Structures are given as C-alpha cells and as structure tokens.
Amino acid sequence: MLTGMFVYICSCPSNNFVYVVTAPSGICQETKSQMASVAIKEPKAAITPKKKTKPSRLCYTPPTNIANSKKKILYTRYDCIGEGGFARCFRVKDESGNIYAAKVIAKASLQNEKTRQKLFGEIKVHQSMSHPNVVGLIDCFEDKTNVYLVLELCEHKSLMELLRKRKLLTEPEVRFLMLQILGALKYMHKKRVIHRDLKLGNIMLDESNNVKIGDFGLAALLMDDEERKMTICGTPNYIAPEILFNSKEGHSFEVDLWSAGVVMYALLVGKPPFQDKEVKTIYKKIKANSYSFPPNIPISSEAKNLIASLLTQDPSIRPSVDDIANHDFFHSGYMASSLPDDILHIQPVWPSTQSRSSFQRNLDYVASAAGVGFGKSAGTEKNKPYALKTDEGDDDHMLPSVLSPRDRVNPVMKIGPETKPSSTKLSSIFEAARKTSEETLPSRVKALKEESRSIPKSKLTRSDAPDNETRTGSVSIANLSDNIVWINIKKTALKIGMGLESRPVASSQGPIAAKNILFITKWVDYSNKYGLGYQLSNESVGVHFNDQTSLVFSADENMIEYITHQKNSEAKHSIFSTSKAPDALKNKIYLLKHFKSYMVQNLSRAVQDETLDDIDIKNAGSMIFMHNYLRTRQAIMFRLSNGTYQFNFVDHVKVVVSPSVQGIMVLDKEKEKMVFTLEEACWFTDDLRSRLKYIREVLESWASKLESTH
Ligand SMILES: Nc1ncnc2c1ncn2[C@@H]1O[C@H](COP(=O)(O)OP(=O)(O)OP(=O)(O)O)[C@@H](O)[C@H]1O
C-alpha cells in the first residue's frame, strides 16, 4: 500500500522542531533545533539553529474532496484539528461514513532526501503497528501537493491538552493511563521499535479516553536485541540521560521507560520533573537526576517510588515494562476499568473503597487489553525477530509477526506461568491405561494408580489462586453478563469437584469414545485487531470477532453460521449456505478464510493422530463454536457452545472437560490423546488431579464473578 509510492516522494514530518545535523565525530547526530540552541557540553553537538518557516505552514488547506486514487477511496475533508511542526491535521470522512484524522504534509516541505527518508521510515514503522493503544494508520497516499496519512481519530486530543485543562490528574487516572502506555511500549519493544519521543503531546486519547500513542517520527527499529542506537534525538524534557551523556555506548529500549517516568511525574505534578526555561539547565538536572516532589501535592509513596525507578540513571538497571506493571503502584488505590468521558473538564471522584475482586477484575481487564502482564516470569521473553512489511496487500496486514507461531500462547499476549509447569509426560502415565483399555475397569484403574504413585507432585497448587490471576481477553469480558452462563460454569466446577472427591467404584462406563469430545485443535489470537480464530476437531473453523459476533465455517465450507451475542440476551444464530451469504458478511467471511488458511499453513494440530476419529461429526447439522475464552497465568481456556471447557496449559498439555458426556480428554506434550470419565478421577495421577483442581478453581472463580454482575 505504502511502499512503492513513498520511495520517491517521502520525507520527514515528525516534529515541531527543525532537524539539524552535525557530525563532529563522523557520526551523524540529529537533534531538534530547540535542543541545539544552547551550548551543551556533553555531547558536543552545539548547533545554532537557522530561522526557518515552520514546514506545516507550507501545507495549505486541502480540497474538500481528497482522493486516494490508487485505492479509489474518496475522503471528505472537514475542519483542521491540529497543527504540528511539519503537518496539519484535518478531520476526514470516508465513503462509508467512518471519521478519521488526516495528517497532511506539504510536498514542498519534503525537499531534501534525508527528510523524505525520515517520513518513509516513520510510515513504515507506523504501518507495522497494530495495538489498541497505538494510533492506527489507516491509509496513506499522495496527491500533487500533499502526502496524507489517514489516522485513527483521537477525539480527545493529547495528554498535553488534558493536563493544560486539568493541571494535574488523580492517581487512579494515572494508574489506568500508565498501564495502557506500558502495554503499547511492551508491544513496540517486542517488535524491536524504540519510540524515542514519548511525551504528553504524543500520547493521545480516543473518545473513550483510551491511550493512543502516535508520532513515530523519531522511532528506531533495532535489527537485534544487542544493537545500540547512536543518534541523539528526543525532546529535552523527556530525553533519557544515556542519550545525552553516553553517546559512545548508544541507547536502546530503556529510553522509552525513562520518558514514561517523566510522563507519569508530569501527570501527577503538572509539569515535567526537569522542567526549566533553559534547555541547558534541563540537561544539567537530567544529568544530576535532580527533581523533587512538591510538598503541597499529595502523591502516594508507591507513585513516587515507581517514578524514581523509571528515572533510574543507569539504563541497565531501569525496570522492564513487566517489572513496572508488577509495581505496588498498580496494586494499591482505586483501579478503574475505564475513565469517565468528561475527564477533560471534571476531575473524577473515585469511590473511597473498592472490593478486592472489583479491583482485581478491573486491573485484569485493563492489563490484558493493553497486553501488559503480571507475574514473576513476565518480561523475560526475548524480543521477537521482526521484519518491516514491504508489500501493499491486505494479506500483509492480515497476519503480521505478532501472531502466535504455533497453536500455543500468543507471546505478545503472554500468559506467564508463575509456577514451573509439571514436567510429567502424560503419555507414560497413561501407557498402562492404554494397554488395558480393553480390559475390565478395575485392572485399568489399578494400573493408573500404580503409575500415579511414581509421579512427583505437581506444582499446580492452590497458591495460584485464579482469583488473582484470571485475565479475560477483551473479547470475553462483554460476555460476562450472559445471565445463564455462570450457572453452567458453576455446575461444571461442581461436577469436577465431585469427580475429584469420588471414591473408587466397582464399575464404570469405561473409556469414552474420543469422537464424542469435540475440541479446538488450532487457534490464533489476533484480537488486537480482528478476533480469535480457531479450528475444531471436526474441521470446522470459526472466528470470535472483537465485536462479539462469531462466524463458523462447516468443514466442507458449504455452510456458514453467524452468531451475534447481545448483552443480556440469547445468542442469535443465522445459517446460510456459503454461496448465499449476505453481503454484510462479506468482510467477515474474507477474514475467516484468511484465518483458516493461516492456521492450515502455519499451525500444527493439537493431536498426533491426524485422522481423528470424529469423522462422523464433521458434517453434523448444528455447528459448535467457541463461545468465549479466558486467559490465566497457567492456561488459556476456551468455552465451546456445547458446554465443553478446554484448558491449554502453558506447558502444552491440554485438558478438555466435557460435562455433557462426563468425560475428560487429555492431550499430552507429545500430542497423545487419552479420554477418561469423571468417575475415574480418583485414580488419576497427582499431576492430572492438580490440573483438574486448577480447572475447577478457575471455573468457580469465573462463575462467582459472573454471578456478582447480576
Ligand atoms: N490521530 C489524531 N487524531 C486527532 N488529532 C490528531 C491526530 N494526530 C495528530 N493530531 C493533531 O494534529 C497535530 C499535529 O500532528 P503531529 O503532532 O503528528 O504533527 P507533526 O508536525 O508531525 O508533529 P511534530 O510537530 O511533533 O513533529 C497534533 O498536535 C494533534 O493536535
């Protein structure tokens, strides 16, 4: 979409400040003229700025109709909503009535090659970003006079405007905003992108007051974790000390965390910590780490402590994003699930008390939507390799590298196991049972019991109380109000509990035919853009879209079922033959096909046995779909519409509980499958019993949460 076009027309919009370049040591050092207007001793990059016309002044008001002629999209231009150093921003509407912000950069301001390349870089980085707390880049094109970046509209402007109006924010507001900022930073850093210009003016708010970080004009893409950036750039108040004073060693991702510390201080105090009229003095203060908290502003010790750790001089000991999310500041005080609409004008009044469950629920919700994690193992993952997109097709947009590479936990969304997963190999545990499956029950269960004695106790213990850790995906949260679901969940938890407490019985139904238990064999999480896709063992494929609708394809792709969930009402099902599906579903069907081909091509199945003995349900009349999902530290849980619960544990063991057939299916790490009845639970190994206890606890906790919302 962008590539070909911008190779020859691009340039640099990025900032209010003119970039000037000096290279005393042969390294190209960029700085903004404002920075350079004073003689800074370290680094020696003193530059005298030239007085220039602000490049955004070269941008005249575009015509009422602006066309992306290549994609044949017409935008209607409305009012000017902002002006920066290089660009002017206008409200625009596309033909479908969607409103966006169009950042307009005059071609006249893109005269030198360096400026063009910088804009090209900004667009390429921005184009590859897809996160709920990063401004979405929707379209990009040019006409004779301008380059247009069509952006997600941030109706509530930036934190700069908010702070100007409000002077300072309350701690619950800062807690909410910081979590979303951290989520966006974590995402960028995983993609090896350093923003390098995080500041109040670049942190925008949408109409629901969710953070949207924008302006990738100074962003840098690292080729590997070890790469260091040498360019001196940033905005004086927010610039990290290692950029200014450690130019030989360069800088990396930690500079964004320093800036996050400056932002947090500014939100609570009303101005940045090192603020001064003189830029030179700002740098002196940064070097000396000289800042203080005004005694007249009440700020909690947790907030002060967090700011202090973010403003740690030595980047190597500055905390990581997940360390920060685990900080006490995020575990004390009031936690909101969203911010009130009118925070621009009215300081919110927060309740003086909050139940632990409400606090936890809100924290889980905000943190999981932002993709920032809790738990000791958080933040230890290596950044994933990343390649900038190069082609213009939607396919490229469709499945970027954030997608889970396997049918396992999406690394971006991270479900970090607090405890080390059990190393038990289930196939060996069940070997005896497998051999004796034709025998009578007593001998089977005897064999199981024998095996279980030799298995070390699992580490899945009660200390992983699900109440502290369940994090529903943003998709499933809305379904929490479903008013009968909690009863079914509770019933399943009860059945598991009864199974676990049951005494040995002389006879049993024996092993359940595997074909009776339908489960998810592949899944892919793209809920930060579209939804969660999955393939069932009957080979039907579905997508749970972010707008709470589901679409399911039968295995032969001839039938389509569309399910809409309205809050507090029954789901509505519509079934069509694929060739007669309504036009309104065209986009969703297109996405569903993409999810399917991605899963078919890239993901391995959850079981070894490719043929699966569920053939006879492949073409069953009613389509079973994934109702919702829930993330915990130990697992991701899927709830199917037939009442089956599937727990994919982080150690790749999968446990599927099917209350309708009283059956439990276990898929071990080697993808071997075994099926048991709940009645046999007393004979299970400690490992499997621990997993079942965990499943029961998660379901109980989830049911209670749902119940309390009624
Ligand atoms: N997505 C958006 N939604 C609403 N308003 C926006 C959006 N993006 C930018 N603006 C408004 O337009 C103004 C100019 O945009 P921006 O700051 O990105 O331009 P710039 O010239 O590249 O920036 P800088 O001066 O920092 O280099 C912003 O200050 C803001 O008020």
pLDDT of residue 494: 79
CB 94 within 8 A of CB 78: no
Please state the atom number of ligand 1 nearest to the C-alpha of residue 135.
Answer: 1
276 as an active site residue: the answer is no
- How does DSSP assign 605-623, residue by residue? -SSS-TT-TTGGGTT-SSP
- Which amino acid, residue 12? C
Please state the atom number of ligand 1 nearest to the C-alpha of residue 212.
Answer: 1
Where does 55-152 sit in CATH, by number?
3.30.200.20
Instruction: Evaluate: CB of 14 within 6 angstroms of ligand 1.
Output: yes
Out of 67-76, 135-144, 387-396, 651-660, pick the least confident. Answer: 387-396
**Which of 10, 147, 215 to probe ligand 1 with, by most ligand atoms within 8 A of CB?**
215
Confidence category of residue 271, pLDDT binned at 50, 70, 90: very high
Confidence category of residue 264, pLDDT binned at 50, 70, 90: very high
Q: Give, as one character, the DSSP assignment of residue 502.
A: P
Q: Give the contacts of 359 (CB within 8 A, at least 6 positions apart).
A: 334, 335
Residue whose C-alpha is closest to residue 390's, from 5, 74, 691: 5
- Average pLDDT over the chain reads 73
Q: Classify strands 541-545 and 471-472 as parallel, antiparallel or unpaired.
A: unpaired
Percent of the chain at pLDDT > 90 equals 32
Domain boundaries, the chain: 5-47, 55-152, 159-370, 413-419+493-708
- Which amino acid, residue 138? I
Question: Distance from the CA of 272 to the center of ligand 1, in angstroms?
Answer: 20
Out of 140-144, 250-254, 567-571, pick the least confident. Answer: 567-571
Q: What is the pLDDT of residues 438-467, one digit of tens each?
A: 333 333 333 333 333 332 333 333 223 233
Rounded CA gap, 439 and 462, in Å?
35
Q: Which of 116-120, 188-192, 434-438, 629-633 has the highest mean pLDDT?
A: 188-192
Question: Distance from the CA of 681 to the center of ligand 1, in angstroms?
Answer: 61
Question: Distance from the CA of 209 to the center of ligand 1, in angstroms?
Answer: 17
The helix-helix angle for 686-708 and 426-435 (nearest 10°) equals 110
> For residue 646, is pLDDT > 90?
yes
654 is in an annotated binding site: no
Confidence category of residue 251, pLDDT binned at 50, 70, 90: confident
> For residue 27, is pLDDT > 50?
no
> For residue 253, is pLDDT > 50?
yes
Instruction: Evaluate: CB of 153 within 6 angstroms of ligand 1.
Output: yes
> For residue 61, is pLDDT > 60?
yes
What mean pLDDT comes out for the span 495-514? Answer: 60
Instruction: Evaluate: CB of 136 within 6 angstroms of ligand 1.
Output: no
Rounded CA gap, 398 and 408, in Å?
19
Q: What is the pLDDT of residues 331-368, one digit of tens each?
A: 989 999 999 989 999 999 999 889 988 898 899 889 98
> For residue 378, is pLDDT > 70?
no
Q: Give, as one character, the DSSP assignment of residue 215.
A: -
Q: Give, as one character, the DSSP assignment of residue 536.
A: E
Q: What is the pLDDT of residues 288-335, one digit of tens each?
A: 999 999 999 999 999 999 999 999 999 999 998 888 888 999 998 999
Phi-psi region of 271 (alpha: psi -120 to 50; beta: other; left: phi over 0): beta
What mean pLDDT comes out for the span 223-234? Answer: 76
Percent of the chain at pLDDT > 70 equals 69
Homologous superfamily of 159-370: Transferase(Phosphotransferase) domain 1 (1.10.510.10)
3-state secondary structure of 97: coil
Question: Distance from the CA of 1 to the center of ligand 1, in angstroms?
Answer: 22
Please state the atom number of ligand 1 nearest to the C-alpha of residue 154.
Answer: 3
Predicted complex ipTM: 0.97
Catalytic residue among 94, 139, 143, 197: 197
pLDDT of residue 615: 35
Confidence category of residue 199, pLDDT binned at 50, 70, 90: very high
> For residue 79, is pLDDT > 60?
yes
Where does 413-419+493-708 sit in CATH, by number?
3.30.1120.30
Q: Give, as one character, the DSSP assignment of residue 476.
A: H
Q: What is the pLDDT of residues 107-159, one digit of tens each?
A: 888 887 778 878 888 898 999 899 999 999 999 998 888 999 999 999 999 99
pLDDT of residue 709: 66
> For residue 605, is pLDDT > 70?
no
Instruction: Evaluate: CB of 151 within 6 angstroms of ligand 1.
Output: yes
Instruction: Evaluate: CB of 403 within 6 angstroms of ligand 1.
Output: no
What mean pLDDT comes out for the span 188-206? Answer: 94
Question: Distance from the CA of 89 to the center of ligand 1, in angstroms?
Answer: 6
Virtual CA dihedral for 244, 246, 247, 253, nearest 10 degrees?
A: -80
Rounded CA gap, 169 and 154, in Å?
19
Regarding pTM above 0.80, the answer is no
Query: To which H or E segment does residue 456 belong?
Result: none
Greatest Cα-to-Cα distance within the chain, rounded to the nearest angstrom? 93
- State how far the alpha carbon of 709 is from the alpha carbons of 434, 593, 630, in Å: 44, 36, 17
Query: To which H or E segment does residue 403 belong?
Result: none
CB 93 within 8 A of CB 99: yes
CB 422 within 8 A of CB 429: no
pLDDT of residue 245: 87
CB 680 within 8 A of CB 666: no
Instruction: Evaluate: CB of 55 within 6 angstroms of ligand 1.
Output: no
